[in-house]
Structure formats: C-alpha cells, structure tokens
Amino acid sequence: MNIHIRKTEETDWIALKELRLESLNESPKAFGLAYANATQFTDTQWQDSAACKTPPTYFMAWYHLKAIALIGGAISNGEYNLIAMWVSPKNRGLGIAEKLIHTALFHAQEIGHSNVVLSVSPENIPAKRLYEKMGFHFIEQYEQLKSHPDIKVQKMVANIGGL
C-alpha cells in the first residue's frame, strides 16, 4: 500500500473537513471536539485549518488521491500536543497510525520541542497500546474529555530528543 503523508495545504480543506467530521462521527468519545460543534465551522475556518494558519497543524495520509487518516499537532502551554489522531476503519492495522505519529514527532522536533504530549483514556486499549509502542508513557495528570465530561483522559508524554 503506497501511503503518502504530508502537512495539509489550503487546497486540502474539503478533504480535511470530510475526514475530521468522519472521525468525530465514527469515534465520538475519542476526541475533545464534538461532531455537532465541528459541523458549525465555516468554510473559511476549514480553509485556515488546512493552510495551518490556525492551530493545529494537520498531517493527512493519502492513498491514491483519497485522504484516509489524520493527526494534528498544536502548542498549548508551551507543550507540543498530538491531537485528532484517526485512521479510517478499513485502513486500520496497516501501520498508518505509526507513520502519522512519526511525522508529527519529527515536526515537533523541527520546531524545537524535545517532548510531545497527548491525552487519551486509559480505557481506550488500542490507542494506549499504540502510544506506548511509540514511546509514550502515562503521567499522573488527568482531566475530563471536553466533549464527554463523563470520560477521564490521562496525559502521556514522549521524549523525542533522540529522533
């Protein structure tokens, strides 16, 4: 499978919108952003997101000319945060998630970060295993998921100084 991963450009805005909305609809309890809120974004907001004019910076995986996965990176409180990690269900288990994470980690390093953080529910076993495989470990910091306050997420961190 010939997968191409790259940072989004403004012309990718429709693909980004479709993929992000699909991810929020398919896995609503995995993200802090709710589908209903994302559907309210204007075309200009999606265009600015795709052009990386506003956080996060998105990277998408493409197979032929179809976007099949994405990940975002945003700086918050001085930390580089991985967000919005999602692979379409029919493309899971092919190593695409690992490639997306590597791309985002290299981007974080390129802009001067030696640590990367993310938040995930410890009960989301597939995500937990993936992130641990990629060098992340849990720290004792918890918060409620914004879109589903009944879900508690825990912070994970990875040192990427040696990439």
Structure tokens at 131: 């992130």
Beta strand pairing call for 57-63 and 115-120: unpaired
Give residue-wise pLDDT tens across range 32-54. Answer: 999 999 999 999 999 999 999 99
Evaluate whether 161 touches 144 at the Cβ level (below 8 Å).
no
Domain count of the fold of the chain: 1
Enter the pTM of the model: 0.94
pLDDT at residue 65, as a whole number: 92
Nearest to 103 by CA among 1, 20, 6, 15: 6
Range of the domain at 67: 3-159
Q: CATH number for the domain including 136?
A: 3.40.630.30
> Looking at the predicted structure, is the pLDDT value of residue 17 above 70?
yes
d(C-alpha 118, C-alpha 138), whole Å: 9
d(C-alpha 47, C-alpha 69), whole Å: 18
Give residue-wise pLDDT tens across range 105-163. Answer: 999 999 999 999 999 999 999 999 999 999 999 999 999 988 888 999 999 999 997 66
d(C-alpha 132, C-alpha 157), whole Å: 10
Is 102 exposed, middle or buried (CB count within 10 Å of its CB: 0-12, 13-18, 19+)? middle
Q: Which amino acid is at 40?
A: Q
What single DSSP character describes residue 21? H
pLDDT at residue 146, as a whole number: 86
d(C-alpha 112, C-alpha 80), whole Å: 10
Angle in degrees, 0-180, between the axes of helices 96-110 and 125-133, rounded to the nearest 10: 50
